[in-house]
Amino acid sequence: MARPCSVDGCDRQAIAKTFCQQHWRRWRKNGDPGSPEVRRWGRGRSCSIDGCDRPHGGQGYCDAHLRREQTKGHPGDSHFRPQRGPRRHKVTYQSAHRRVEDARGRASEHTCQTCGGPAREWAYDHKDKAAVVCPIGRPYSLDIARYVPMCVSCHRRFDRAVAREQGAAS
Convert the pLDDT of each residue in 107-120 to its tens digit: 999 999 999 999 99
Percent of the chain scoring above 90 in pLDDT: 25
Predicted local confidence at residue 110, as pLDDT: 95
Report the chain's mean pLDDT, rounded to a whole number.
80
Q: Hey, which of 4-13, 52-61, 94-103, 145-154 has the most confident mean pLDDT?
A: 145-154
Please, which residues have CB within 8 angstroms of residue 11's CB and are 6 or more apart in sequence? 4, 5
Query: Which segments within the chain are labelled E, that is strand?
Result: 121-124, 132-133, 139-140, 147-150
Q: Smallest Cα–Cα separation from 138: which of 76, 92, 78?
A: 92
Predicted local confidence at residue 33, as pLDDT: 78
pLDDT band at 121 (very low <50, low <70, confident <90, very high): very high
Rounded average pLDDT over 136-147: 89
Predicted local confidence at residue 114, as pLDDT: 94
Domain extents for the chain?
1-38, 40-78, 93-169
Rounded average pLDDT over 29-41: 68
pLDDT in tens, 54-91: 777 666 777 777 777 766 666 666 555 555 555 455 77
pLDDT band at 106 (very low <50, low <70, confident <90, very high): very high
Please, which residues have CB within 8 angstroms of residue 56's CB and are 6 or more apart in sequence? 41, 42, 45, 46, 47, 48, 62
pLDDT in tens, 14-29: 887 788 888 888 888 7
d(CA 137, CA 92): 12
> pTM, whole model, 2 decimals?
0.47
